Amino acid sequence: MPETAIVLRARGVRKTYGGVTALREADVDIRRGEVHCLAGENGSGKSTLIKIVSGVEQPDAGTITLDGHDVGRLTPTRAVELGIQVIHQDLSLFPNLSVAENIAMVARVASRRRLVSRRDAMALAKATTERLGVSLDLTERASNLPVAQRQLAAICRAFAHDAKVLFMDEPTTALTWREVDALLALVDTLRAEGLAVVFVSHKLEEVFRISDRVTVLRNGEVVHAGEVKDLDRPTLVRVMTGQDVTEDRDVTELPPDTRPVLATRGLGRRHEFADVSFSVRAGEVVGLTGLLGSGRTEIAEAIFGMRPADTGEILVDGEPVRVRSVHDAIRAGIAYVPGDRLTQGVFLGQSIRRNLIAGSIDRLISRTGRLRDKAVQRTVTTAVESLRIKTSDVAAPVRTLSGGNQQRVVLGKWLARSPRVLVLNSPTVGVDIGSKEGILQVLRDRARAGMGVLVISDDVPELVSVCHRVLVVRRGRVVDEIASARMSVQAVTDGLTG
């Protein structure tokens, strides 16, 4: 591959947040017409780097040059004008505006025009969607779109304005397998148009499938930069984590007469899912997979009482239980680790201690409602030790922890109750490879101790590695079950794409 010109160059970028050094002397080169992967574990500084080159954060030191010119102090506005575009992990759409206006917004800001009109926005949005070959209802409010379409809108917005460099911070975490394919195809098109695309992902397959070059960060330092074709999987994992990690299937078969701890019979909810019947046995890890928007999250949240089912029943240990609210579910011994850690899982500003007891307050209070200090202390210490949460002070806010440790805190919150059934939604999304294996190991251990585990995920290797069985959901119904005997990456993938 011929060396093309360097579009964006960062030199000696340093950033500290309070005491935490997020980036130290990082150097990155991005070339025209390449897909460049930023890899690294949680908290290694990837997002910080993106925030700095897009003007969202100011570096403590270092220079950024674009096409050979020092850009000086960068603001988001300046970055947009210079042709630096970012698709943030949370999409950053405007829920109150129409899709068309959302798509037009970046271009409008960059054009520095003072007057705007709906018609222009519509024309631009139409042109963009046509160019990218996506179909979207442009007049709909963004808040009314399903997640996958919002993702498409965010991508269209980034493309609506002529960009030189496009950063995509973990764009695939909210996407299903099939949508990822479409996105990667799109990235290919862009590369062909001469754009530089910087891609952040924890999923190694994606890195290998799409990237030309990779920069690996560890603890805020660049530990590797080079062509992807010179790397193989184990090597990349080793540079990222500094150690070897395996992803092999590790499942202990259960005795055939093991009784189910959780069973659903004909569970249904209007417009969302129907006839969902399955069971999870004590000690079993069951996978629930399906495309995003297939209804798998809805099923999990119905079991957890968040959005209760209208029909059918839920049985715990063979007894039917009425689950009309989260409270009912918890009382029945069901726990749920939600999919979006930051908004649904943790209380960022609150102490690790408070986060850990958030799910079991009812058990930690005396009859008068007073918190029992000793019981609280015991719960917190047990969780920190058994989950190996890396912290020196449980009074520190959860904000100070890395992503993987934050996820351990969410897990710890529920394990403190020793639930009969643990339901987890995408438990390793946004968690780096080292932490991911640790979290999966916790699930295996708990299952072996007799808990029933239901894992929702579309990370196929992960499902294969940890699950006894995998159920496939499509358009609100369970359409397939892959038993242990025929479990393989290929089988699950086939089921998913069906």
- Choose which of 16, 21, 56, 247 interacts with another protein (CB under 8 A): 56
Per rule CB under 8 A, is residue 272 in the interface with another protein? Answer: yes
Site string for ligand ATP, 15-54 (x = CB under 6 A): --xx-x-x-----------------x-xxxxxxx------
* Closest C-alpha among 85, 68, 248 to residue 156: 85
How far apart are alpha carbons 312 and 93 in whole angstroms? 37
Instruction: Indicate which single residue of 27, 65, 94, 260 sits in contact with another protein (rule: CB under 8 A).
Output: 94
Does position 307 bind another protein by CB under 8 A?
no
108 binds another protein (CB under 8 A): yes
| Best CA proximity match to 280, nearest among 294, 298, 299, 305 | 299
- Interaction between residue 430 and Mg ion (CB under 5 A): yes
Q: What six digits make up the tokens of 350? A: 């609150």
Through-space distance between the first and last CA atoms of the chain, rounded to whole angstroms: 37
Least distance in angstroms from the C-beta of 414 to another protein? 9
Q: What tokens were used for 163?
A: 């960009």
The backbone torsions φ and ψ at residue 312, rounded to the nearest 5 degrees and listed phi first, read 85, 180
Report helix, strand or coil for 426. coil
For ligand ATP, what does the binding mask look like between residues 409 and 448, x meaning CB under 6 A?
Answer: ---------------------x------------------
Binding-site size, ligand ATP (CB under 6 A): 16
Enumerate residues 6+ apart whose C-beta is below 8 A from 427.
337, 407, 411, 439, 443, 455, 457
Answer with the entry of Mg ion, another protein, ligand ATP, none that 40 interacts with (C-beta below 5 to 8 A by kind). Answer: ligand ATP
- The β-bridge partners of 469 are 286
71 binds, among ligand ATP, another protein, Mg ion, none (CB under 5 to 8 A by kind): none
Residue number, 154 or 309, with CB nearest to ligand ATP: 154
Residue with tokens 């996407």: 175
Closest CB 288 distance from another protein, rounded Å: 14
Query: Applying CB under 8 A, which part among 19-27, 234-242, 359-367, 487-495 lies near another protein?
Result: 359-367
Which residues, 6 or more positions from 19, have their beta carbon under 8 angstroms from its beta carbon? none
Site for another protein in 282-301 (CB under 8 A): 293-295, 298
E-state strands within 433-497: 452-456, 469-474, 477-482
CA distance 82 to 80: 5
Dist. CA 432–CA 436, nearest whole Å: 6
Picked from another protein, ligand ATP, Mg ion, none, the partner binding residue 44 (CB below 5 to 8 A depending on kind) is ligand ATP
Stretch that binds another protein, among 107-115, 192-200, 442-450, 488-496 (CB under 8 A): 107-115
Would you tell me which residues interact with ligand ATP (CB under 6 A)?
A: 17-18, 20, 22, 40, 42-48, 75, 402-403, 430
